[in-house]
Structure 1
Amino acid sequence: MSTFDLDELRGILRRMGGVDEAALDGDIAETEFSHLGCDSLALLELCNQVERRYSVQISDDAVSDMPTPARAVAYINSLLTAKAGT
């Protein structure tokens, strides 16, 4: 089973561009995405990137369940776990 971690999330955000890269350094796990320079469109693009890379489906409504990188990582890992169990 694949796992998703904070470094993977950070890498996707850096590759997407439009995010203040300096804000991604350090411990960002509990920092709200809005404080990292990510708006709702950036979060949707993050979800699109994860969907393509990991073959999971993230609903648009799920973005509100992922206000921080830590919550996003946990949510994405729950999808990967469910996928592995099917």
Structure 2
Amino acid sequence: MSHTPFRVDDLRRILREGAGADETVDLEGEILDTDFDALGYESLALLETGSRIEREYGISLGDEALAPHTTPRALIDAVNGELAPAPRT
């Protein structure tokens, strides 16, 4: 079973759809290692983002993946970890 990786552009789209974008933050810039709180996304916005990701991709994310001190890179890695096919036994 293959999967399409979750990428930064997918995250940007979901952030904008769910929580909007702070006009002072350039989501098109280098955001991968910037904390979500520095990007203007507080815990409620991240909960909405997480819910959208879970529904759209059919996965479940842990609370630590959606903490305000987390970076987009960490969230993308968590999503892709959940999307990875289970090893065959």
Asked if these proteins are the same fold (TM beyond 0.5), I'd say: yes
Name stretches of at least 5 consecutive residues in structure 2 with no aligned partner: none
Please identify runs of 4+ aligned residues in structure 1 that moved more than 6 A.
none
Structure 1 length-normalised TM: 0.84
Match of 1:51 in 2: 54
The alpha-carbon deviation at position 7 of structure 1 amounts to 0.6
Name stretches of at least 5 consecutive residues in structure 1 with no aligned partner: none
Structure 2 length-normalised TM: 0.82
Calculate the aligned-residue CA RMSD, in Å.
Answer: 2.0
Aligned length: 84
Structure 1 residues 57-66 or 69-78, which shifts more? Answer: 57-66
Bigger helix fraction: 1
Identity of aligned residues (%): 38
Match of 2:8 in 1: 6
